[in-house]
Structure 1
Amino acid sequence: MKIKAAPLPADAQAPALVPSRSAARGQTPVPGTESSLFVGSVEKAMRVLAAFDERHTHLSLSKIASLTGLDLSATQRFTHTLTTLGYLAKDPATKAYSPSVRLLDFAFRYAVSNEVIGRAAPYLRQLSQETEETTNITVLDGTDIVFALRIVSRHVLNSHVITGTRLPAYCTAPGLAILSQLPEPEARAILDDSELVAYTQNTVTRPERILERLRLFRQRGYAHTEDEYYMGDISTAAAIVDRQGRPVAAINVAVSRPRWQGADHERRIADLVIAAASAVSGHT
């Protein structure tokens, strides 16, 4: 676990989206790789695809090799195969590679086959209509939450957050809602694996303080954050749990600071997200 400070966004009305530190998984050891069933070539192909992000949209062969740690020959074979299969596109003039639209097929398959998203979608739409705010379904992956479904309102604070965006769990309402429903040793282990960055002056980075908040959120049945990942963002979330009571996702409503009306507003939105999450819970 590392605790660092991050520079504050200069403009609270158009906050910068700082990528989650745990989103770059290419450098992180993956359990199970020592198994005889593990296919290394598949892992290397996925490593090539994971080299692309908002900072690396078009990459040369040598740059892909540098980012993935593969030698040039292997990089050439994997990029050729992925291009032939349609998952990468190659610019005929610059020879640079970029992700193909075909990669969205995987996101589509996840969304339509995920029972929680299917059940939660109508409640998310209802929440959006009732609050006139941005509503989301997120799931926990490692130390991050990932936006699985998002309905954006005209009052949205940060339009850069889209389906698939990763944010750290420890300082976001959906992440804290999910962590609060885990056994405390599991939540502590996730915090130990997290890089605890102070994204704003309001970000809580002390592990013991975060655990105290998790106990409070568990008791309340919802998590609430204000200005913790970027300034001007206020979020209220409740966890969706399975039949065993384990969290599988979270529903949240995000409100921009100019539209926030204080404690009464928090109570109203908390009641709505708790009701929505309860309606979806207990089915898997």
Structure 2
Amino acid sequence: MDTSQKRSKRSSAQADSPEDQGDVDGRLFVGSMEKGMRVLELFNEHPSTLSIGDIAQHTGMGRSAAQRFVYTLHRLGYLSKDSESKKYLPSMKLLGLVRGIHRHHPQRELAYPLLEKLARETRETVSWVELDGDEVVVLLNIPGSHITAINLPAGSRFPALTSSSGQVLLSQAPQAQLLKMLDALPPEMRARFGSRSRSEVLSIFRKAAEDGHSFTEKNFGDDGVSVSVPVTDFSGRPIAALNISTVRSRYSIAQARELILPRLERAAREASI
């Protein structure tokens, strides 16, 4: 997915989101900080070293402005510079910010052994996924041990509506919210629902709520099978999804339902508050 063309909105469940604050207050909004963060975001969209020229091109900044932002981020320790190519890449200091995020969400840390156990038992890729606006984000991931394992590194983003994780996370969402998200889907993503009508798409989410899980099939080079179940808070509200991703050459949906789903459901119950 091209995140350079689409900036994701944060979930309404998260504090201090732009939507909660209304229109941007130009007296308080620091445009230069936005540009600096845009430079850092580039390294997620383009996972390789980048030159100042690359950064200027991808951000639309002038070369001089890009050079100033890169210099500042380098001096602050958030970018490292390759001594031979003179190109830049994210530094280890950024991991401290990631650690801070996880520290404020201890449930993820507590769930990690459950993910490890699932990965050992199934040898498939296991992920902890959360909703971020109209996308889902992989926050914890243990890769499968098969040669053809599906790779979903932490930080990966996917449209929520068309993913099994998104379908369980949005299973209690209001119909109006789902329809708004559906209308905003790019045509190539909308095509994943085939010829289904709007009401038929909504029924997918009702079924996910009734069943307590969701299956999807996608093409990841090998035909992918994805199954997700919700992790809930004390009120039963989905706050995350546990996901196992495999390939159809090893599991059909029927086989995944029989052999993978019970293990996934058991882990999700243990991870829920």
Matched ranges for 1:174-189 at <5 A = 174-189=165-180
Structure 1 unaligned spans of 5+: 1-19
Any idea what SS the aligned residue of 1:89 has? strand
* Aligned counterpart, 1:157: 148
* Aligned counterpart, 1:247: 238
* Aligned counterpart, 2:78: 87
Among all aligned residue pairs of Structure 1 and Structure 2, give the percentage whose two residues are the same amino acid.
33
Compute the RMSD of aligned alpha carbons.
Answer: 2.9
Matched ranges for 1:125-140 at <5 A = 125-140=116-131
The reply on whether 1:123 has 2:114 as its aligned counterpart is yes
Between the aligned partners of 1:130 and 1:93, the Cα distance in structure 2 is: 44
- Structure 2 vs 1, CA of residues 227 and 73 (structure 1 numbering), >3 Å: closer, same or farther? closer
- Structure 2 vs 1, CA of residues 103 and 24 (structure 1 numbering), >3 Å: closer, same or farther? farther
* Aligned counterpart, 2:41: 50
Between the aligned partners of 1:156 and 1:23, the Cα distance in structure 2 is: 30
Shift of 1:50: 1.3
Contact preservation (8 Å) 2:231, 2:239: yes
Aligned counterpart for 2:193 among listed residues 204, 211, 225: 204
Contact preservation (8 Å) 1:145, 1:167: yes
Q: Aligned partner of 2:217: which letter?
A: E
Any idea what SS the aligned residue of 2:136 has? strand
Shift of 1:48: 1.1
- Segment of structure 1 superposing worse, 183-192 or 72-81: 183-192
Any idea what SS the aligned residue of 1:148 has? strand
- Segment of structure 1 superposing worse, 118-127 or 249-258: 118-127
Q: Aligned partner of 2:193: which letter?
A: V
Pairs aligned (count): 260
Any idea what SS the aligned residue of 2:203 has? helix
Structure 2 unaligned spans of 5+: 10-17
- Structure 2 vs 1, CA of residues 228 and 246 (structure 1 numbering), >3 Å: closer, same or farther? farther
- Structure 2 vs 1, CA of residues 269 and 183 (structure 1 numbering), >3 Å: closer, same or farther? farther
* Aligned counterpart, 2:65: 74
Contact preservation (8 Å) 1:134, 1:150: yes
Shift of 1:239: 1.4
Shift of 1:24: 4.7
* Aligned counterpart, 1:102: 93
Shift of 1:243: 3.2
Between the aligned partners of 2:185 and 2:212, the Cα distance in structure 1 is: 24
- Structure 2 vs 1, CA of residues 184 and 228 (structure 1 numbering), >3 Å: closer, same or farther? farther
Contact preservation (8 Å) 2:48, 2:89: yes
Shift of 1:26: 5.8
